[in-house]
Structure 1
Amino acid sequence: MAITTGIVGAAGFAGIELTRIALRHPDLELVAVTSNELAGTPVSCEYPGFSGATDLAFTTHDDPALDACDLVFLAVPHTAALSMAPRLVDRGATVVDLSADFRLKDPAVYERWYATPHTAPDLLARTAFGLPELFPDDLARAAEAREAGKGALVACAGCYPTATSLAAAPAVRAGFVAEEGAVVVDAISGVTGAGKKATARTHFCFADENLEAYGVATHRHTPEIEQILDLKGRLVFTPHLAPAKRGLLSTVNLPLSSDAPADAASVLERYRAFYEGNPFVRVLPEGVMPKTSSVVGTNGAHIGLAVNERARVLIAVCAIDNLVKGAAGQAVQCANAVLGLPQTAGLDVVAAPV
């Protein structure tokens, strides 16, 4: 039987990518897509690429159809999920939240970085962290809750934390990273990562032919990356905006411990073993670095590694599509895990070659 599915915030870039994936997913029946601003507008009018694919029209966020959905995705700005998620989970739905509202385990950290009170701290302990390659046990517990007839909540990792953590986690967990010293991350994203509404930074006339750093030393994904990698106070994270629609590349510089291998071949072997059995992660051969064009439109994550032997620093680079593995695709991957479906259901692993 198809799993009735709703998407709250479906008109945004992540939401409409979710809509595209859900419509072709073999086990999901998409019954509601919401947007207060576009309520009553057919999806195919706002996004003509859906012409002939669906007759759905956007409805408001309080659409009663959501109350009958087995699975609800929340593709909403931060703070919106704080009011929506508890009610949906309490009635027994599986909720996959793409916002930041339930990612940070300490509500005080959330309040410090997002400058707003966390109004649902009781739900944090029950929330699974949505980065399947690194936190499979969280998703297994959510699946058990669902199987027992209870509601489940998954807080999907953000786009920058996903690429950065996939690049760094195998080395960190293997003890290859020195216990002192900064971990330096430089990451670049396409403009869709900033959302659908144009700003002075993302307007075509300002973004085209331009590359700039932003949120320097203040970006809200910093505490999330530190939480995932257990690197509190050691992360220097600098995001950049590229004149591209989609794609994200994160370069992580990790100081090596004294007993860590100092050759790329040994590190590559550890990374391949770490990600064995994960269908979306590809550890590239020695000397090969990832490209965003190789993963755009897919849920893939490509990782390349190099070792600066003189400085004893591991350089780990990860490329993802910020809208897919960094948002909508990862949300579906998490939902698949909780629902007991193959993680690859509905998701592409091969990008358009050109």
Structure 2
Amino acid sequence: MGSIRACVVGATGYAGIEACRLVLAHPALELTMATDRKQAGERLDAVYPQMAGACDLALSLPEPDAIAAAADVAFLAVPHTASLDLTPALLERGVTVIDLSADYRLRDPKTYEAWYNTPHTSPELLSQTVYGLPELNRAGLARLAERRAAGEAVLVACPGCYPTATALAAAPALSAGVAVGDLVISDCVSGVSGAGRGATARTHYCHANESVEAYGVGSHRHTPEIEQTLTDVAGRAMSVVFTPHLAPLTRGLLATVYLEAAPDATADDVRAAYERAYADEPLVTLLPAGSMPATSSVAATARAQVGVALDDRRRRTIVASCAIDNLGKGAAAQAVQCANVVLGLPETEGLLAPAPLV
């Protein structure tokens, strides 16, 4: 049993229950509290029978005082705006927050308000927040670890699933300069669990099964987050044409990005950029030349797989693809990865299990 007490807020959602599963198996963390407003009082293993024998907690209401009394770190697997209400209160009470929601990802509160149609009620926290994509921002997480070691409660804003996969696919080309221009095209496909536990007309079985469709075209809320991340990587203002697709998968996400190749960049140059970027990354695998990733290869894991090619014709284009599990590296597993760094633990603690083989 671990010695660092953890609470999962929003534990009955798909990302929340995945966070619970990972915390329960983690050698240094102990799940001491799980919350859900609608099902408070019910046992977690009654809501998810898969938890029988692994967790006997009853769900609680997400009250800041109770969370602070029970936990050192809180994973917030909640919809946007819910974190705005809870995070400041938890930080004031000394609880480190690993936020899976969108509320603190965007540095400009006006951008948040424009895309999420709600006021940002704690913009003063944005400058203290670290965007939790370890492969691109490990130094920022390490600074949070130093602050926490000095006794401060800190806040990590974990990326969305689409921004994670898009960034891992595009970043090496942008940072190495083998991609030029100010536009990235990102076509993404996600499993239905990415839409959350509540069924809608689009996500119930009869509609989603045996069908693939684009949605949120030109208007998806992850667009400014992707642009913010790629701008940071490239060192110049970047725009994205982002098109998400819903596929009849339970879990898994594939992002394929297209970037303009530098005039003198060869296929070997492009390959070398990705090899340098991911040679020492424990949770990102660059596939051999000629291979592209599949979502089944990373299902139920914290891992990402990346493939890259150069389409060397009249419009020379770098094509890079990244597969992640939308609930794993795209949500709960990435949150645990960030928590490991901030808590002073090995980054991959509790996250190295391979994907199921069948």
Give me the whole-angstrom Cα distance separating, in 2, the residues matched to 1:303 and 1:228: 18
TM-score by length of 1: 0.97
Q: How many equivalent residue pairs?
A: 351
Give me the whole-angstrom Cα distance separating, in 1, the residues matched to 2:203 and 2:21: 24
- Check conservation: 2:178, 2:269, Cα contact below 8 A: no
Corresponding residue for residue 337 of structure 1:
341
Corresponding residue for residue 79 of structure 1:
81
Alignment partner of 1:283 is 2:296: no
Q: Which amino acid aligns with 1:109?
A: T
Alignment partner of 1:242 is 2:243: no
Q: Which amino acid aligns with 2:53?
A: G
- Check conservation: 2:193, 2:250, Cα contact below 8 A: yes
State the shift of 1:228 in Å. 0.4
State the shift of 1:281 in Å. 0.2
- Check conservation: 1:303, 1:319, Cα contact below 8 A: yes
Within 5 Å, give how 1:70-109 maps onto structure 2.
Answer: 70-109=72-111
Q: RMSD value over aligned CA atoms?
A: 1.2
Match of 2:130 among 125, 128, 131: 128
- Cα deviations by residue, 1:130-176 (Å, 9 ceiling, x for unpaired): 00000111101111110110110000000000000000001111112
Q: Which amino acid aligns with 2:217?
A: V
Give me the whole-angstrom Cα distance separating, in 2, the residues matched to 1:210 and 1:142: 43
- Check conservation: 1:8, 1:33, Cα contact below 8 A: yes
State the shift of 1:81 in Å. 0.5
- Cα deviations by residue, 1:47-94 (Å, 9 ceiling, x for unpaired): 111111111111111174311211011111000101111111122221
Corresponding residue for residue 230 of structure 2:
229
Corresponding residue for residue 138 of structure 1:
140
State the shift of 1:232 in Å. 4.4
- Check conservation: 2:162, 2:330, Cα contact below 8 A: yes
Give me the whole-angstrom Cα distance separating, in 2, the residues matched to 1:45 and 1:349: 26
State the shift of 1:128 in Å. 0.7
Q: Which amino acid aligns with 2:150?
A: A
Alignment partner of 1:16 is 2:25: no
Q: Classify the secondary structure of the residue corresponding to 2:22.
A: helix
Q: Classify the secondary structure of the residue corresponding to 2:59.
A: coil
Extract unaligned runs of 5+ from structure 2: none
Q: Could you tell which deviates more after superposition, 171-180 or 317-326?
A: 171-180
Match of 2:306 among 287, 303, 306: 303
Corresponding residue for residue 329 of structure 2:
325
Q: Residue 266 and residue 353 in structure 1: after superposition, are their counterparts in 2 closer, same or farther (change >3 A)?
A: farther
Q: Which amino acid aligns with 2:12?
A: A
Give me the whole-angstrom Cα distance separating, in 2, the residues matched to 1:349 and 1:188: 24
Alignment partner of 1:346 is 2:347: no
Corresponding residue for residue 267 of structure 1:
270
Q: Which amino acid aligns with 1:222?
A: T
State the shift of 1:277 in Å. 2.0
Moved over 3 A (4+): none
- Check conservation: 1:262, 1:312, Cα contact below 8 A: no
Within 5 Å, give how 1:128-207 maps onto structure 2.
Answer: 128-180=130-182, 182-207=183-208
Within 5 Å, give how 1:22-37 maps onto structure 2.
Answer: 22-37=23-38
- Cα deviations by residue, 1:174-227 (Å, 9 ceiling, x for unpaired): 1122224x3211000000000000000000110001100000000000100100
State the shift of 1:348 in Å. 3.3
State the shift of 1:269 in Å. 2.0
- Check conservation: 1:297, 1:348, Cα contact below 8 A: no
- Check conservation: 2:160, 2:330, Cα contact below 8 A: yes
Give me the whole-angstrom Cα distance separating, in 2, the residues matched to 1:141 and 1:328: 22
Give me the whole-angstrom Cα distance separating, in 1, the residues matched to 2:49 and 2:39: 14
Give me the whole-angstrom Cα distance separating, in 1, the residues matched to 2:115 and 2:175: 26
Give me the whole-angstrom Cα distance separating, in 1, the residues matched to 2:94 and 2:278: 33
Give me the whole-angstrom Cα distance separating, in 2, the residues matched to 1:144 and 1:126: 13
- Cα deviations by residue, 1:238-259 (Å, 9 ceiling, x for unpaired): 0000001000000000111223
Give me the whole-angstrom Cα distance separating, in 1, the residues matched to 2:200 and 2:341: 36
Q: Could you tell which deviates more after superposition, 43-52 or 55-64?
A: 55-64
Give me the whole-angstrom Cα distance separating, in 1, the residues matched to 2:352 and 2:245: 26
Give me the whole-angstrom Cα distance separating, in 2, the residues matched to 1:175 and 1:270: 9
State the shift of 1:100 in Å. 0.2
Q: Which amino acid aligns with 1:7?
A: V
TM-score by length of 2: 0.96
